[in-house]
Structure 1
Amino acid sequence: MNGLQVIILVLVGLGGTCVVFTREPVRQAIALTFFGLLLALMFLILQAPDVALSQLVVGAVVLPLMILLVVAKIRRQSQ
């Protein structure tokens, strides 16, 4: 493993920990977006560009967007 791979693996570990310990749903969705971007970058560095593109679309865009839409709908219904 080279230095760049070690750095990105440490960042992915820190990003995952940040997502787990974040309690507010909106902030958690934002942290999940950055975590998805870090994972996509890790897959790109590990020479898996097809997996990186899939992770970028699903993990960094679609999933956080779905979470934010659900949180907005729940807050709108509770008012």
Structure 2
Amino acid sequence: MTALLLVVLTLVAVGGTVVALTGDPRRQAVTLSVYGLLLTVLFFVLQAPDVALSQLAVGSAVVPLMVLLSLRVVAGRRR
């Protein structure tokens, strides 16, 4: 394995841990977006640009926005 791949794998492992240990759902959505970017870099390093583009669109943008939208809807229903 190359040094770049080891660094990216370490960052992905740390990022996943941070997402799992974040308690506040809003902060977790932000850390999930950063984790999606880390996965995008990992897929790009592994020479899978099609998967990286999909991850960039879905994991870094769509899923965190859906989480924030659902939190907003749930908070609106509680009021």
TM range, smaller chain: over 0.9
The aligned counterpart of 2:16 is 16
Partner in structure 1 of residue 30 of structure 2:
30
In 1, the alpha carbon distance for the partners of 2:74 and 2:46 equals: 39
Please name the residue that 1:7 is paired with: 7
Q: Residues of 1 paired with 2:61 and 2:44: CA distance?
A: 17
TM-score by length of 1: 0.98
Structure 1, unaligned stretches of length 5 or more?
A: none
Match of 1:55 in 2: 55
Aligned-partner Cα distance in 2 for 1:76–1:2:
49
C-alpha distance in 1 between matches for 2:73 and 2:51: 31
**What is the Cα deviation at residue 76 of structure 1?**
1.2
Aligned CA-pair RMSD: 0.5
Number of equivalent positions: 79
Q: Percent of counterpart pairs with the same letter?
A: 49
Confirm whether residue 64 of structure 1 aligns to residue 64 of structure 2.
yes
